[in-house]
A and B are shown apart, each in its own frame.
Chain A
Amino acid sequence: MRTLMLTLLGLAAAATLEAQVAVRGETVHTMAGEAIRDGLVLIGRDGRIEQVGPAKSIRVPAGYRTMTAKVVTPGLVDAHTVVGLAGALNQPHDQDQLETSDPLQPELRAVDAYNAREVLVEWLRSFGVTTLHTGHGPGALMSGQTMVVKTVGNSVAEAVVDSSTMIAMTLGPDVSRTFAPKSPGTRAKGVAMVRARFVKAVEYGAKLAAAGDDAAKRPARDLGLEALLPVLDGRRAALITANSVSEILAALRLQAEFGFRLVLDGASEAYLVLPQIKAAGVPVILHPSMARQTGGTENATLEDAMLLRNAGIPVALQSGFEGYVPKTRVVLFEAAILAANGLTPAEALATITIDAARIIGQGSRIGSLEVGKDGDVVLFDGDPFEYTSHVCGVLINGRVVRESCR
């Protein structure tokens, strides 16, 4: 996996050699400190940010293209989606986000199913979304792996930032519905099945460790258990979709038992168990604010993000999974609703930029406009959250990927 990742990264870097752009904004939301009035972002040949600051303090070198906008933000980060595995047609051949042959399949890799040319990728990019944490979706106890991609490229190799980020897991009745009449038929059965699989992974890891360099003593390779080893040692997070209180508490219980790094997903009833989530030190990738209030999100509120944030819990926003129309939500629109329901605009913007980047493990590379970070920038002609504003420019890795207004 590591080799694959390095190869992919190399390809991504090779694609960005021509960037030399200066983006000037009447307001620049760097997401690293206060917004800058009349600010400038300078992006160098390597596609990374060279300088950020007040325009008057930065000299734009010759040969740089200058773009201007009313408002400038970092590229938007969708902290959890299935776009690229799920396509707009919504036909069996473009729906690869959920394999239903078995409820526990952590070995399924997102890189093996991502369609970089999916029209929904282009759609999200046109609204300023430059990074997706995408992959296998909710609906199975372990549906597979997730990854981080930029919304560019003709192939997964060109798009990928991190080829295996989290194991996507789901607790609760959605899993039972998907796999009926097979197990798990109940919430508790589902948790028991997850525990059993982690126990096996622990034993598998112990056997591997005991075998050391002696290949003859190693257990037979098991791709599913191999995929869980990085979860057990903290290199890969468990992303558990858990909406109701019982599911959230079960996720916290699993985390305590196996010591993995947990990211709560959905979490529409999180507001009922804030102290427990806070004590566990777990971040939340919250359901879309406009998620239909039915099924798992029946008890959601438009103020969930505000309640989590006020409790000191890191929170990012997701576009989630949609089975019908709209086939994907747009985190820009979802965050706008948060800005109108308890979060300040800056806080709402953080849920789709820096806070999202940190939760998906990319806080040092994307999510804010800071020197050394990727040149992912969005240009707006007004308040990014107003319905009547437009995205008028998108840069990814310093390259202009969209210039017209939408």
Chain B
Amino acid sequence: MLRRVSLATLGLVLAVPLGLAAQAPVRVFTGARLLPIAGPAIEDGVLVVQDGKILAVGPRGSVRVPAGAETIDARGKTIMPGLVDSHSHIGDADGADRSSPIQGDVRIMDALDARAATIQRAQAGGITSVNVMPGSGHLMSGQTVYLKLRDVGTIDELLICAAPRTDICGGLKMANGTNPRGAAPFPGTRAKAAALVRDKFVKAVEYRAKLRAAGDDASKRPPRDLELEALVEVLDGKRIVHNHTHRHDDVLTSVRLAQEFGYKLVLQHVSEGYKVAREIAAAGVPASIILIDSPGGKLEAIDGAFENAAELVKAGVLVGFHTDDGITDSRFFLRSAGLAVRAGLSPKVALEALTINNAKMLGLEQRVGTLEVGKDADFILLSGDPLSVYTKVLETWVEGLKVFDRADAKDRALAVGGFGVMKGTLEGHWHDGMEDH
């Protein structure tokens, strides 16, 4: 977890990981039950990491351990990839304001507090990669950001992208259904909402055509438009749309628009997904879903069901879970898999839905989501079966560095709670109204 350090020592602390990178030690975790996700469980496994990457993984005896490696006895523990959360609001940030329903130019990274307790709470829950999004009170509430939950103090150090000035560092948040509705300029009906979104994408298509026609001739380019620039990235398949949607017909509207403009879509929440599972599967669109302890609370979620995951998977849909933190608490993310298994999902897919499936939805499957050689050394040590309520996240490691250790008193407090521990948690989102999630 992030230690709150004085300004005088901050520079030193940040310098340390960089300084070590060149001669990073080899760490070997032995004896644990490994759940690589990429393959079957390994009962007596060995995991070797160096330079923030996985060097080797396999059963005892099958893995060459470099001389001089630091060995960590992990017998009795379970190691699985760090969890990937495909929809979260940690970092206490907000995206678009109330000036208009479509604000694709707004970036959540420009408002995120890297020192928020919510981020450290997510580390305590075993989450290592996360898609932090603006809310759902807009048709487009802004650009999302993909983060690694490293132990750092600034947003720039949390980014997964290498160069925020030029790279695409996240997706685009969209929403339909009741949340974005409101007084003008917000849409009053579903069809109006869709028309507003289509109109914006039509403009983006035209903008892209002008850009292409201009080629390298800067004088022929249209004036810069920050929003349309982001939508061109969407049209080019470089920026993924994350579409908040609950009701079955809204789900299909999301798919219809994505097909019209040919963009990459991830359905988010998808409470009634099971009612249109075949259609979602046929469209080849993944579904990032949330499991809520009871139906309703909002009209669109009245038919929400624990069975959603199993039904979607049965139809052939790629399914991931998300926390929507603070709708559910990042510390209980593993619980999603357990409840989905309760309602018919296979344990194997349930664990994929916490890891690699979400990585795929963020376009990060080459880097995270499984324990495989060459992937980032993001993993968690558990006290037991990830599907058991009694299991604790003991340690969370990001790129070969420990960011959460339940044996540490401060870290334990973040896992358990206590006086002042969560101070400031949910400020902003909570008080601006829960309808925005």
Contact = CB atoms under 8 A, between A and B. Distances in A.
Nearest to B302: A88
A18 B301 CA distance: 38
Chain A interface category by residue count = 35 or more
A325 B430 CA distance: 13
B284 interface: no
A379 B291 CA distance: 24
A123 B294 contact: yes
A238 interface: no
Chain B interface category by residue count = 35 or more
Interface string B230-271: 000000000000000000000000000000000000000000
A330 B294 contact: yes
Interface string B406-419: 00000000011111
17 contacts: A89-B296, A90-B296, A120-B296, A293-B329, A293-B417, A299-B417, A299-B419, A299-B420, A299-B421, A302-B415, A303-B417, A323-B434, A324-B435, A333-B293, A387-B338, A387-B341, A389-B342
A328 B301 CA distance: 13
Given A339-B390, A387-B387, A324 B298 contact: yes
Nearest to B434: A324
Interface in A266-320: 269, 272, 290, 292-295, 298-303
Contact of B417 (A123, A300, A322, A389): A300
Contacts of A13: none
B390 A388 contact: no
Contacts of B415: 302
A156 interface: no
Given A293-B417, A298-B425, A341-B416, A387 B389 contact: yes
A346 interface: no
B297 interface: yes
B342 A390 contact: yes
Interface of A: 87-91, 119-120, 123-124, 269, 272, 290, 292-295, 298-303, 322-330, 333, 336-337, 339-341, 385-390, 406
| In the A-B complex, the 6 residue pairs with the closest CB atoms | A387-B338, A88-B296, A325-B297, A301-B417, A327-B297, A326-B293
Contacts of B294: 88, 120, 123-124, 325-330
A292 B329 contact: yes
A388 B341 contact: yes
A214 B374 CA distance: 91
B416 A301 contact: yes
B311 to A, nearest CB: 15
Given A293-B425, A325-B297, A325-B298, 9 more contacts: A88-B296, A119-B296, A120-B295, A292-B326, A294-B430, A324-B435, A386-B389, A387-B342, A387-B389
A90 B299 contact: yes
A324 B388 CA distance: 27
A327 B292 CA distance: 9
B418 A301 contact: yes
Contacts of A88: 294-297, 302
Contacts of B42: none
A71 to B, nearest CB: 14
A326 B297 contact: yes
Nearest to B301: A325
A339 B388 CA distance: 12
B433 to A, nearest CB: 9
A386 B388 contact: yes
A299 B421 CA distance: 7
A337 B434 CA distance: 24
A326 B299 CA distance: 12
A385 B299 contact: no
Contacts of B155: none
Contact of A324 (B297, B391, B418, B423): B297
A366 to B, nearest CB: 23
Interface string B280-305: 00000000000011111111011000
Nearest to A245: B419
A91 B299 CA distance: 8
Nearest to B332: A290
Contacts of B390: 339-340, 385
Contacts of B394: none
Contacts of B434: 323-325
